[in-house]
């Protein structure tokens, strides 16, 4: 695909958002200066033009700052030739000396299907190693295993339309309001229009829970008991679809018998789950009585020591009621990453071979013949956690990491980083020049094409394949990942099998494999796309699979009339085990650390961390804690807390909140050693995994908490770079026109410690009130704010909020004085944190609208624009409205 550089008025390029599995279509209009204007694609069936805050801010993340632009060996820039030779040599030597078990590749759901396909083919077909795993192990593998157990295949039965036509939406362990915002807004619209009900099952009051008709604030890890109780209730209430169960399934009686052991009564279920019986009854009756029910699940289900059982406990209830594959009904696994689904299609997991085939002799033979492969892997390889443990033991000696940051995102991240340092041969393909994994000792660094440059396909949560198209030229020497793989394959003697000239050729081969000797026994079949020519591929419109050759493309759902991908065509009920008792709280670690996401950041922030808008909502790493636990530990709201587990510690800003369940802590996963002094949460997480899927339980590490106190807190802003103050607590935050740093310390923070390059001609205005421990300084160049430093005994919140947007702006003298003396420019200037990231509306502006009489979100939207784009701030706006109502009621 050409980038239309010469066209004076090029049409916008239609591509797909690089973040979540909703897979929204975006239109990118390059500005020919390396940037682009981004809007939602009104014709894309995922989003019909909408984007969430992260999608809307994509244009702010395109700069080349911090990008890896040239291949490097041992920190020295080298040519691609030299780098590729070295990559190939390292793998060849390791293979020769230690065999295929000593090599591995660790991939990512953020790679394109074509990249993924090439990597999987090289390792599993040509190097004889199934040590190919992916961050999807941490993300979707429990869903995959649960699907395979129930359906005989990794199939998501339903579609997005079902979510809109359901009358009951059950969110189990999913904070879709923040993590799948556009899809969530589609569901909310249906709720408003058709009166659909929402039930949320989550140990904390997430943004999604706030909107729910019923929130079951269950104890973490008790979902199996809950859904077992539901199955019992459905049976006892005569709500089983006996005809469906009889005709299309196996194993109902055993599953029910087991469910009765796990959850014999409503009272027992309520006790295990730690919620009121009345709420359990309400949920069970809603489910029993609502035919059109969808159960959506994500990481609160998948990332558990019994994640696969959780998935099957949910699916059991849908099979039992025959509510699957029909309009408005079904279990629905929400995929996390933009191409989580595509990775599963190519066989990116160590226990899959390719194209939804496993390691049975028949499949090995089939794939081997299709690839004409000399050295097929014969058995599953190591799953992520085991893979990195094998690295630590020196059993894996050569590793290639592509498109993921395991030194931050794997459990026991500190141990992972250490293990990486022991590799003989450590290759990383990256977009960025610096992250925790590169810092762990990557010897060879390969610059990969990033979003906006890369070209290929991704598959979203509803099995819909969309194109990611380039709209920017490849910067520096960045190259697509599939190309780097093919080049290495060539150097290892497999030039013919990896001789693709274009990405479209890779896609065609992948599509052909999906249809190869597939007589309908495999769900994944996109044979209809195997003959696309380059033009067709470039123009490919979003298409849902299956897309079998010669078949009209109408099959958008699975299993309404059976037809499971098991040997006998029947779906399977699974007799689930009783929930594993969570590692018992010990006196050392009496609490549980739950981890997850916030609305405006993506994973380790390598992209969203560049956007000032996205950094304004929650700028610091934080810990949510209940009032009871906070009081016991002596932690105060707005102060600092150190959370510790058997594996590590982090010091975070404390948020004492009724949203947290007693005994449960919550921290976001986004901060790393790149962006904070002690906010890397992965280092605290235990490596307990589901025994079937190998997916880590990232939601309940035994933990303890203690207060952390600092004498001084503050921030620095600069139009240039900022140094990190040694020995201090700090976190970086993107701000407009410069860099921002929040810090806390017991020592002194001097201007020169953090703001390195002052110009002698700069005017420095200082203010110090040493008795009160206050110290402020601002630097002006021709009246324009260049840098500033604010330090005081307490949090400098309002000054931060006001000043983070003022760098590069002229400030008049009274403003300057006001800001240095009072920490803010003038009354009203500090409007509090940003609530609506899309339109940049601060809390104070919304409060103003409420005071002026706006009493519902629509009125606030009309007055301020807040909440009128992606809508993911609406829960917060509703909460503000409710707070005002309560305040009014009290004062009235």
Ligand X SMILES: Nc1nc2c(c(=O)[nH]1)N[C@H]1C(S)=C(S)[C@@H](COP(=O)(O)OP(=O)(O)OC[C@H]3O[C@@H](n4cnc5c(=O)[nH]c(N)nc54)[C@H](O)[C@@H]3O)O[C@H]1N2
Contacting residue, 25, 322, 336, 348, with Mo ion by CB under 5 A: 336
Q: Residue by residue, what is the 3-state secondary structure of 450-466? A: CCCCCCEEEECCCCEEE
Q: Least distance from C-beta 587 to Mo ion, angstroms?
A: 34
Nearer to ligand SF4, 47 or 429 (CB): 47
Interacting stretch for ligand X, rule CB under 6 A, among 148-156, 201-209, 264-272, 578-586?
Answer: 201-209
Instruction: Decide if residue 108 touches ligand X (CB under 6 A).
Output: yes
Q: HSE (CB half, 13 Å, CA atoms) of 161?
A: 8
Q: Alpha-carbon distance 866 to 579, whole Å?
A: 43
Instruction: Decide if residue 341 touches ligand SF4 (CB under 6 A).
Output: no
Interacting stretch for Mo ion, rule CB under 5 A, among 167-175, 304-312, 328-336, 783-791?
Answer: 328-336
The answer to whether the CB of 365 falls within 8 A of the CB of 357 is no
Contacting residue, 14, 28, 36, 52, with ligand SF4 by CB under 6 A: 52
Nearer to ligand X, 200 or 373 (CB): 200
Pairing of strands 834-836, 841-842: antiparallel
51 binds, among Mo ion, ligand X, ligand SF4, none (CB under 5 to 8 A by kind): ligand SF4
Give the 3-state secondary structure of residue 236: helix
Q: Least distance from C-beta 660 to Mo ion, angstroms?
A: 23
Nearer to Mo ion, 341 or 530 (CB): 341
Q: HSE (CB half, 13 Å, CA atoms) of 164?
A: 12
Contacting residue, 14, 30, 36, 54, with ligand SF4 by CB under 6 A: 54
DSSP 479: B
**What sign does the dihedral 286-288-292-295 (CA atoms) show?**
positive
699 binds, among ligand X, Mo ion, ligand SF4, none (CB under 5 to 8 A by kind): ligand X
Question: What is the separation of C-alpha 758 from the centre of its chain, rounded to a whole number of angstroms?
Answer: 39
- Binders of ligand SF4: how many residues, by CB under 6 A? 14
Contacting residue, 3, 36, 47, 652, with ligand SF4 by CB under 6 A: 47
Nearer to ligand SF4, 162 or 523 (CB): 162
DSSP 260: H
Instruction: Decide if residue 405 touches ligand X (CB under 6 A).
Output: yes
Q: Which of residues 642-701 bind ligand X (CB under 6 A)?
A: 669, 681-682, 685, 698-699
Q: HSE (CB half, 13 Å, CA atoms) of 157?
A: 32
Q: Least distance from C-beta 72 to ligand X, angstroms?
A: 14
Q: Least distance from C-beta 185 to ligand SF4, angstroms?
A: 9
Q: Least distance from C-beta 536 to ligand X, angstroms?
A: 24
Identify the helix (H) or strand (E) that includes residue 531: none
- CB 195: neighbour CB atoms within 10 A? 8
Q: Least distance from C-beta 338 to ligand SF4, angstroms?
A: 7
Interacting stretch for ligand X, rule CB under 6 A, among 107-115, 152-160, 513-521, 566-574?
Answer: 107-115
**Packed helices 874-891 and 843-851: angle between N→C axes, nearest 10 degrees:** 50
Q: Alpha-carbon distance 113 to 109, whole Å?
A: 9
Nearer to ligand SF4, 460 or 786 (CB): 460
Residue 665 main-chain phi, psi, to 5 deg? -105, 155
Nearer to ligand SF4, 59 or 848 (CB): 59
Nearer to Mo ion, 324 or 598 (CB): 598
The answer to whether the CB of 323 falls within 8 A of the CB of 330 is yes
Q: Which residues contact 18 (CB under 8 A, 6 or more apart)?
A: 58, 110, 338, 451, 468, 607
- Binders of Mo ion: how many residues, by CB under 5 A? 2
Residue nearest to ligand SF4 (CB): 55
- Give burial (CB, 10 Å; 0-12/13-18/19+) of 585: middle
Nearer to ligand SF4, 19 or 516 (CB): 19
The answer to whether the CB of 210 falls within 8 A of the CB of 878 is yes
Instruction: Decide if residue 338 touches ligand X (CB under 6 A).
Output: no
Q: Least distance from C-beta 660 to ligand X, angstroms?
A: 9
689 binds, among ligand X, Mo ion, ligand SF4, none (CB under 5 to 8 A by kind): none
Q: Which of residues 476-515 bind ligand SF4 (CB under 6 A)?
A: none
Nearer to ligand SF4, 182 or 423 (CB): 182
What the block records as the tokens of 549 is: 């050759």
Nearer to ligand X, 444 or 845 (CB): 444
Nearer to ligand SF4, 47 or 290 (CB): 47
Interacting stretch for ligand SF4, rule CB under 6 A, among 22-30, 316-324, 405-413, 490-498?
Answer: 22-30
Instruction: Decide if residue 51 touches ligand SF4 (CB under 6 A).
Output: yes
Q: Which of 563, 144, 553 is nearest to 325 (CA)?
A: 563
Instruction: Decide if residue 343 touches Mo ion (CB under 5 A).
Output: no
Q: Which of residues 243-302 bind ligand X (CB under 6 A)?
A: 298-300
Q: Least distance from C-beta 759 to ligand X, angstroms?
A: 33
Contacting residue, 14, 38, 104, 138, with ligand X by CB under 6 A: 138
732 binds, among Mo ion, ligand X, ligand SF4, none (CB under 5 to 8 A by kind): none
641 binds, among ligand SF4, Mo ion, ligand X, none (CB under 5 to 8 A by kind): none
The binding track of 130-149 with respect to Mo ion, each residue x by CB under 5 A or -, is ---------x----------
Pairing of strands 571-572, 640-644: unpaired
Nearer to ligand SF4, 55 or 867 (CB): 55
What is the rounded (10 degree) CA torsion for 468, 469, 475, 477? 70
* Residues counted in the chain: 892
23 binds, among ligand X, Mo ion, ligand SF4, none (CB under 5 to 8 A by kind): ligand SF4
Q: HSE (CB half, 13 Å, CA atoms) of 16?
A: 31
Identify the helix (H) or strand (E) that includes residue 714: strand 712-718
DSSP 107: E
What residues are paired with 623 via a beta bridge? Answer: 654, 667
What residues are paired with 572 via a beta bridge? Answer: 250
What the block records as the tokens of 855 is: 């009493």
How many helices (DSSP H) and strands (DSSP E) are in the chain?
Answer: 32, 34
What residues are paired with 779 via a beta bridge? Answer: 764, 787
Nearer to ligand SF4, 56 or 673 (CB): 56
Q: Least distance from C-beta 510 to ligand X, angstroms?
A: 17
What the block records as the tokens of 849 is: 């609208």
Q: Least distance from C-beta 879 to ligand X, angstroms?
A: 16
Contacting residue, 351, 409, 642, 676, with ligand X by CB under 6 A: 409
Q: Which of 20, 1, 3 is nearest to 458 (CA)?
A: 20
Q: Alpha-carbon distance 634 to 645, whole Å?
A: 18
Identify the helix (H) or strand (E) that includes residue 191: helix 181-194
What the block records as the tokens of 875 is: 């829960």
For residue 295, whether the previous peptide bond is cis, meaning omega lies within 30 degrees of 0, is: no
Q: Which of residues 585-644 bind ligand X (CB under 6 A)?
A: 594-597, 599, 601-604, 606
Instruction: Decide if residue 202 touches ligand X (CB under 6 A).
Output: yes
Instruction: Decide if residue 20 touches ligand SF4 (CB under 6 A).
Output: yes
What the block records as the tokens of 513 is: 């494999």
Instruction: Decide if residue 614 touches ligand SF4 (CB under 6 A).
Output: no
- CB 863: neighbour CB atoms within 10 A? 17
Q: Which of 203, 205, 207, 202 is nearest to 188 (CA)?
A: 207
Residues in contact with ligand SF4 by CB under 6 A are 17, 19-20, 22-24, 47, 51-52, 54-55, 180-182
Residues in contact with Mo ion by CB under 5 A are 139, 336
Residues in contact with ligand X by CB under 6 A are 20, 54, 108-111, 135, 138-139, 172-176, 178-179, 201-204, 206, 220-221, 223, 298-300, 303-304, 336-337, 402-406, 408-409, 429-432, 435, 448, 454, 481, 594-597, 599, 601-604, 606, 669, 681-682, 685, 698-699
């Amino acid at each position: 695909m050409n980038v239309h550089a010469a066209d004076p008025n090029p049409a916008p390029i239609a591509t797909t958002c690089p973040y979540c599995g909703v897979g929204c279509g975006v239109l990118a209009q390059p500005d020919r200066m390396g940037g682009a204007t981004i809007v939602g694609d009104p014709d894309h069936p995922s989003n019909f033009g909408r984007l969430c805050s992260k999608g809307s801010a994509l244009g702010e993340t395109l700069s080349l700052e911090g990008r890896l632009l040239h291949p490097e060996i041992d920190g020295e820039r080298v040519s691609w030739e030299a780098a590729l030779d070295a990559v190939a040599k390292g793998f060849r030597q390791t293979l020769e000396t230690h065999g295929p078990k000593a090599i591995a590749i660790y991939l990512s759901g953020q790679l394109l299907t074509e990249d993924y396909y090439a990597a999987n083919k090289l390792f599993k077909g040509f190097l004889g190693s199934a040590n190919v795993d992916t961050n999807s192990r941490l993300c979707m593998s429990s869903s995959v295993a649960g699907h395979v157990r129930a359906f005989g295949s990794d199939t998501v039965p339903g579609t997005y339309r079902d979510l809109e036509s359901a009358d009951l939406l059950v969110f189990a362990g999913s904070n879709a309001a923040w993590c799948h915002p556009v899809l969530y807004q589609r569901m909310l619209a249906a709720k408003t229009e058709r009166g659909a009900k929402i039930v949320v099952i989550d140990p904390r009051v997430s943004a999604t829970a706030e909107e729910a008709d019923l929130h079951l604030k269950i104890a973490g890890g008790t979902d199996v008991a809950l859904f077992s109780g539901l199955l019992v209730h459905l049976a006892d209430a005569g709500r089983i679809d006996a005809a469906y169960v009889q005709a299309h399934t196996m194993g109902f009686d055993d599953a029910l018998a087991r469910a009765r052991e796990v959850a014999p009564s409503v009272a027992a279920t309520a006790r295990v789950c730690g919620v009121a019986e009345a709420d359990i009854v309400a949920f069970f009756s809603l489910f029993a009585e609502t035919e059109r029910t969808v159960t959506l699940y994500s990481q609160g289900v998948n990332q558990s020591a019994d994640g696969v059982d959780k998935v099957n406990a949910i699916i059991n209830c849908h099979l039992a009621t025959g509510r699957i594959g029909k309009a408005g009904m079904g279990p629905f696994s929400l995929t996390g990453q933009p191409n989580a689904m595509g990775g599963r299609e190519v066989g990116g997991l160590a226990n899959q071979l390719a194209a939804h085939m496993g390691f049975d002799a028949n499949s090995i033979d089939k794939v081997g013949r299709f690839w004409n492969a000399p050295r097929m892997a014969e058995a599953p390889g190591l799953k992520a956690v085991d893979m990195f443990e094998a690295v630590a033991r020196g059993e894996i000696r050569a590793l290639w990491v592509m498109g993921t940051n395991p030194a931050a995102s794997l459990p026991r991240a500190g141990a992972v980083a250490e293990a990486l340092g022991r590799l003989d041969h450590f290759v990383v393909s990256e977009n960025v020049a610096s992250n925790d994994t590169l810092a762990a000792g990557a010897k060879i660094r390969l610059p990969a094409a990033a979003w906006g440059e890369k070209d290929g396909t991704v598959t979203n949560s509803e099995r819909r394949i969309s194109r990611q198209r380039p709209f920017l030229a490849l910067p520096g020497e960045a190259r697509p990942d599939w190309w780097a793989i093919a080049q290495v394959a060539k150097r290892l003697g497999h030039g013919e099998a990896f001789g693709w000239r274009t990405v479209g050729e890779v896609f065609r081969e992948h599509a052909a494999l999906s249809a190869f000797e597939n007589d309908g026994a495999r769900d994944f079949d996109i044979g209809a796309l195997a003959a696309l020519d380059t033009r067709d591929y470039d123009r490919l419109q979003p298409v849902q699979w299956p897309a079998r050759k010669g078949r009209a493309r109408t099959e958008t759902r699975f299993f309404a009339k059976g037809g499971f991908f098991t040997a006998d065509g029947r779906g399977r009920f699974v007799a689930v085990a009783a929930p594993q008792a969570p590692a018992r709280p010990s006196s050392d670690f009496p609490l549980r650390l739950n981890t997850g996401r916030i609305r405006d950041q993506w994973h380790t922030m390598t992209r969203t961390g560049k956007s000032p808008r996205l950094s304004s909502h929650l700028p610091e790493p934080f810990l949510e804690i209940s009032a009871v636990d906070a009081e016991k530990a002596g932690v105060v709201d707005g102060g600092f807390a150190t959370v510790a587990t058997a594996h590590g510690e982090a010091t975070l800003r404390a948020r004492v909140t009724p949203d947290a369940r007693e005994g449960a802590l919550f921290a976001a996963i986004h901060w790393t050693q790149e962006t904070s002094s002690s906010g890397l949460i992965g280092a605290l997480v235990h490596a307990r995994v589901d025994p079937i899927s190998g997916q880590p339980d990232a939601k309940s590490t035994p933990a303890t908490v203690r207060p952390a106190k600092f004498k001084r807190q503050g921030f620095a802003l600069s139009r240039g770079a900022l140094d990190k103050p040694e020995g201090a607590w700090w976190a970086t935050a993107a701000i407009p026109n410069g860099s921002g740093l929040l810090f806390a310390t017991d020592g002194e923070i001097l201007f020169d410690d953090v703001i390195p390059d002052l110009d002698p001609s700069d005017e420095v205005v200082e203010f110090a009130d040493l008795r009160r421990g206050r110290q402020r300084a601002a630097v002006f160049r021709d009246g324009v704010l260049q840098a500033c430093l604010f330090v005081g005994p307490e949090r400098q919140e309002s000054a931060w909020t006001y000043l983070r947007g003022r760098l590069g702006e002229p400030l008049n003298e009274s403003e300057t004085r006001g800001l240095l003396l009072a920490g803010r420019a003038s009354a009203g200037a500090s409007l509090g944190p940003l609530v609506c990231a899309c339109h940049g509306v601060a809390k104070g502006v919304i409060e103003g609208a409420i005071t002026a009489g706006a009493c519902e979100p629509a009125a606030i939207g009309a007055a301020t624009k807040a909440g009128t784009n992606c809508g993911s701030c609406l829960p917060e706006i509703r909460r503000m409205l409710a707070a005002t109502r309560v305040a009014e009621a009290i004062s009235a």
